[in-house]
Amino acid sequence: MIDVQANPYTYNLDPEATALVVIDMQRDFIEPGGFGAALGNDVARLAAIVPTVARLLDLFRRLGWPIVHTREAHLPDLSDCPPSKRLRGDPPLRIGDVGPMGRLLVRGEPGHQILPELAPKPGELVVDKPGKGMFWATGLHETLEARGLTHLVFAGVTTEVCVQTSMREANDRGYACLLIEDATESYFPAFKAATLAMIQAQGGIVGWTTPFASLHAALAKEEGRG
Ligand code: C5J
C-alpha cells in the first residue's frame, strides 16, 4: 500500500487495484454554448482545472494504471432521458435542443465530446451515462469488479453534482475513494467547498480528498519503477 497525505487522514492506495475516474470533462459543460452555459453558468470556472486534470492523466498513463472517462449524455431519441430531467427549470435551450455545439447533452454531438486536451487514449474506458452517477444504467461496477479494482481516484466536473454522486455511489459499493481537490470544479465555489467538507466530515464518511501535489509526491517512487 502507498500512503497518500489526505483529508481527513492518510489514504492507503493499493497500487495493484487503483483506477483514475475522470468525470464528464465534456465540451457541453466546459465550453461556451453547451448545456452548462444554457443553464446560465459561468463555464470559465471549470476550464481552470484542465491543466491539473491533464497532469493527473499523464501520471496514471506513465504508471500504466487504468483510466475511466465518463460522459453524461442521452440517446438521440431521448428514450433514456426522463421528462422530469428534460423539463426542469426554464432554460433557453433544453436537453436535445440544437445549440452551437449540436444537440445539448446528446450522444455523438460535438458537445458530447471530451475536451481534446483530455481525450481518452486507446485502452482507456469511456463510459456513457444517462444520469449524474456513473453506475446508473452503465454496468461500470461489474467492469471494475472484473478487473479487481477497489480504489478510485476522482477528478472532473461538477464537484457537487456528477462527481459527488458518483463518489457516493462508489463508496456504497465498497470502493475506497480519493477526490483530487484541484482537479475538480463547480460553477459555484461555495458548493465545491461544501462538498469537500462533506466528504471529509465524520471521519471521511464518503472518502478522502487531497491536492494533486500530495498524490504526485506519494506516487513519485512508483513512477521511478515504471
Ligand atoms: C451536471 C455534471 N452538473 N456532470 N452534470 O449537470 O455534473
- Which member of 28, 81, 132, 162 is catalytic? 162
Evaluate if residue 110 carries a pLDDT over 70.
yes
pLDDT for residue 221: 79
CA distance 14 to 185: 26
The atom of ligand 1 lying closest to the CA of 156 is 4
CA distance 44 to 48: 7
pLDDT for residue 140: 98
Tell me the best of 21, 162, 164 to mutate to test the pocket of ligand 1, counting ligand atoms within 8 Å of each CB and taking the most: 162
> How many other C-beta atoms lie within 10 A of the C-beta of residue 110?
16
**What separation in angstroms does the CA of 91 have from each of 4, 24, 57, 94, 224?**
42, 21, 34, 6, 50
Tell me, what DSSP letter sits at residue 116?
G
Name the residue with the closest Cα to ligand 1, atom 4.
162
Evaluate if residue 224 carries a pLDDT over 70.
no
Tell me, what DSSP letter sits at residue 90?
-
Chain segment 169-190, per-residue pLDDT in tens: 999 999 999 999 999 999 999 9
For residues 140-148, average pLDDT:
98
- 222 band by pLDDT with thresholds 50, 70 and 90: confident
Name the residue with the closest Cα to ligand 1, atom 2.
162
The atom of ligand 1 lying closest to the CA of 161 is 7
Chain segment 24-72, per-residue pLDDT in tens: 999 999 999 999 999 999 999 999 999 999 999 999 999 999 999 999 9
